[in-house]
Structures are given as structure tokens and as C-alpha cells.
Homo-oligomer: A and B are copies of this chain.
Amino acid sequence: MNEEMSYMLEKKPEKLFRDDGKRLSGRDLFELRPIKMKVGILENADGSAFIEWGKNKIIVAVYGPREIHPKHMAIPTQARLRCRYNMAAFSTSERKKPGPDRRSIELSKVIREALVPALLLEKFPKTVIDVFIEVLESEGGTRVASITAASLALADSGLPMKDLVTAVAAGKIDGKIVLDLDSAEDMYGEADLPIAIMPRRKEITLIQMDGKMTPQELRLALGKAIEACQQIYEMQKRALLERYKI
């Protein structure tokens, strides 16, 4: 319970904005942290990607479609998508005990649910597609960074996709809607709203919220997040091109 909290024990800042109206990190309301993506960085995996998003460092591998064990897990009409979100022991301020906890079990599910709509699972009946996510360093927003990288790894693996999936968090801190919360903003802010879309048709494949927002604030936050996704989508496409450029 409250596992996220225990990762960060720094003191609560008095406020989350500076006198010049910028956020403590110097960012504007809707400014993202620096993002770097690299596709195809692993030898063994069928597809892979690495993302640096602020201080978040996440690596994703895709294996499959491949045979599933035990066999009764196979779905006759489509591939099973499995997702495993895992944090390295050294990825957090306090060492994280290895192995799944309740938070990572939930995140594995919501990430899978965010990716499923982009895939044509019915093309590979009875098989499994595994998405392995390793969070090497975390600093707020690992789930959206994971989804963004995972969709690159899926594309890199050559699986047919309806679109990439692109994700970002909006949120509310000191009463204002902002984008892309870092750890402190996530912890001491009022609300966190991670979303993922398939940018081409702006379909929302992830939306979660915790905190407090009025429906009006939510509408604004959602709109801003969808806009930002377009920007991240461009980076994703560039990263894919980079991979196949000679």
C-alpha cells in the first residue's frame, strides 16, 4: 500500500511553483521533460527500445509471437499479450526489494490494456507476445514512459500495428493543470492523470486518475495531454526511422 510514497522521503516543498511562475524544475506548465528514445538496443529480444524521460530510464523487450507454456493458457482465436513491469532494485531512492509487488502487478495490467488496442492479436492465434519492461531508474511517470517505449519495441519486433501508442501524464499542482509530473510534483501535487492514445485517431487507450479534479479541469488536462502526445509521437517516429536508417 502506498508503495510509491515510500520510494521518496524528501521533505515536502512549501510550494511547487517558483516566483517567476515556472515549476520548481524550471519548466513551464505544459513543458515536458527532455525525452530520448532509442530503438533496437538488445540482441536477444525480437524488438526492443530504451527511453530516457527526465531521469527515468526504461528498457523494453518484446519476445514473440511464440509458443505459450503451459499450453492451456493459449487462446484459440488470438495471441495472448503478457506484460511485466519490473523495477530494478537500484531504480528508486530506497532500494526496492526484487520481485513483483501490488503496484507493479497493477501497472503490468494497465500497461497491457493500453497496448492491446494497437495490436492485431487475432493474427497470431494460440501464441503469446511478451512485453518485458525494466525500469532502471525512476523519477515519476514510469508508466507513461513504459507505454511509449513498449510501443516502439513492439513496432521494432515487426508486429503489425494499427498505430503506435503514445503516453504522457497530466496533473494538477498547487491548483494548476500541468503536464508531465516529476516525482515531487506527483507526490505533493493534487492530481495525476496518466493517459495513452493512439495518436492517428486520438483514441484513448489509457486513462487513470488519482487526486482531485473537477470535470472541467479534467477536460483541460486531457486535452493538453492529447496535444503533448502528438509531440511525443513525432519523437517516436523519428526514433523508429533512426533505427532503420543506414
**Residues of A that sit less than 8 Å from B by CB:** 69-70, 72
State the copy count for this chain: 3
Once bound together, how far apart are the Cα atoms of A72 and B72, in whole Å?
A: 14
Between-chain CB contacts (< 8 Å), 2 pairs: A69-B72, A70-B70
Tell me which residues across on chain B come within 8 A of A70, comparing CB atoms: 70
| A179 → B minimal CB distance (Å) | 39
Tell me which residues across on chain B come within 8 A of A72, comparing CB atoms: 69
| A70 → B minimal CB distance (Å) | 7
| A205 → B minimal CB distance (Å) | 31
- In the complex, the chain B residue whose C-beta lies closest to that of A67 is B72
Once bound together, how far apart are the Cα atoms of A208 and B72, in whole Å?
A: 40
- In the complex, the chain B residue whose C-beta lies closest to that of A69 is B72
| A217 → B minimal CB distance (Å) | 37
| A97 → B minimal CB distance (Å) | 14
